[in-house]
Structure 1
Amino acid sequence: MKRESLVSITDFSKEEILDLLQKASRFEANPNQKILEGKVVATLFFEPSTRTRLSFETAVNRLGGRIIGFSDASTTSSSKGETLKDTIMMVSNYVDLIIMRHHLEGAARYASEIASVPVINAGDGANQHPSQTMLDLYSIYKTQGTLSNLNITMVGDLKYGRTVHSLLMAMSHFNPTFHFVAPDELKMPIEYKIFCEQHHIPYFEHSEFSEEVINQADILYMTRVQRERFTDLMEYEKVKNVYTLHNSMLDHSKENLRILHPLPRVNEISYDVDSNPKAYYFQQAKNGLYARQAIICKVLGIEV
Structure 2
Amino acid sequence: MEKYVPAPARAVFNLLQTNFTADAASWEGKCIISVKQFGLESLAKLFEVADEMKKLVKESGGDQRLQGRLLATLFFENSTRTCCSLQAAMLRLGGSVVSVNETTSSVKKGETLQDTIACLCSYCDVVALRHPQQGAAVQAVTATRRPLINAGDGVGEHPTQAILDVYTMVSELGGVEGKVITLVGDLKNGRTVHSLARLLALYACELHFVAPPALRMPEDVVRDVTARGRATVTQSDAFDAVLPRADVLYVTRVQKERFEDAAEYEALRLVYRVTPEVLARAKRDMVLMHPLPRVGEIAEDCDDDPRAAYVRQMENGMVVRMALLALLLGKA
What TM-score do you get using the length of structure 2 for normalisation?
0.88
**Gap regions ≥5 residues in structure 2:** 1-10, 16-28
Distance 1:9 1:159 in 2: 18
Look up the match of 2:41.
15
Question: Deviation string for 1:7-46 (max 9, x for gaps)?
Answer: 0111122211111011111100003011100101100001
Look up the match of 1:25.
51
Look up the match of 2:266.
237
Whose RCO is larger (CA < 8 A, sep 6+)? 1
Question: Deviation string for 1:105-146 (max 9, x for gaps)?
Answer: 111111123201010010000111111111101110110001
Distance 2:30 2:330 in 1: 8
Shift of 1:195: 1.8
The answer to whether the 8 Å contact 2:201/2:226 transfers is no
Paired residue secondary structure (2:239): coil
Shift of 1:208: 2.7
Paired residue secondary structure (1:30): helix
Give the share of equivalent positions with the same residue, in percent.
Answer: 39
Which runs of structure 2 are paired with 1:144-183 in the superposition (5 Å)? 144-183=173-212
Shift of 1:197: 2.4
Greater shift, 45-54 or 172-181, is seen at 172-181
Letter matched to residue 279 of structure 1 = A
Paired residue secondary structure (1:173): coil
* Number of corresponding residues: 301
2:64 to 34, 47, 60: 34
Which runs of structure 2 are paired with 1:165-204 in the superposition (5 Å)? 165-200=194-229, 201-204=231-234
Paired residue secondary structure (1:74): coil
**Gap regions ≥5 residues in structure 1:** none
Which runs of structure 2 are paired with 1:1-304 in the superposition (5 Å)? 1=11, 3-31=29-57, 32-70=62-100, 72-200=101-229, 201-210=231-240, 212-302=241-331, 304=332
Letter matched to residue 71 of structure 2 = V
The answer to whether the 8 Å contact 1:4/1:298 transfers is no
Distance 1:4 1:275 in 2: 40
Distance 2:239 2:202 in 1: 27
Paired residue secondary structure (2:189): coil
Question: Deviation string for 1:83-106 (max 9, x for gaps)?
Answer: 101101111100100011000111
What TM-score do you get using the length of structure 1 for normalisation?
0.96
Distance 2:292 2:226 in 1: 29
Distance 1:148 1:292 in 2: 24
Paired residue secondary structure (2:33): coil
Greater shift, 21-30 or 224-233, is seen at 224-233
Runs of 4+ aligned residues of structure 1 deviating over 6 Å after TM superposition are none
Shift of 1:271: 1.2
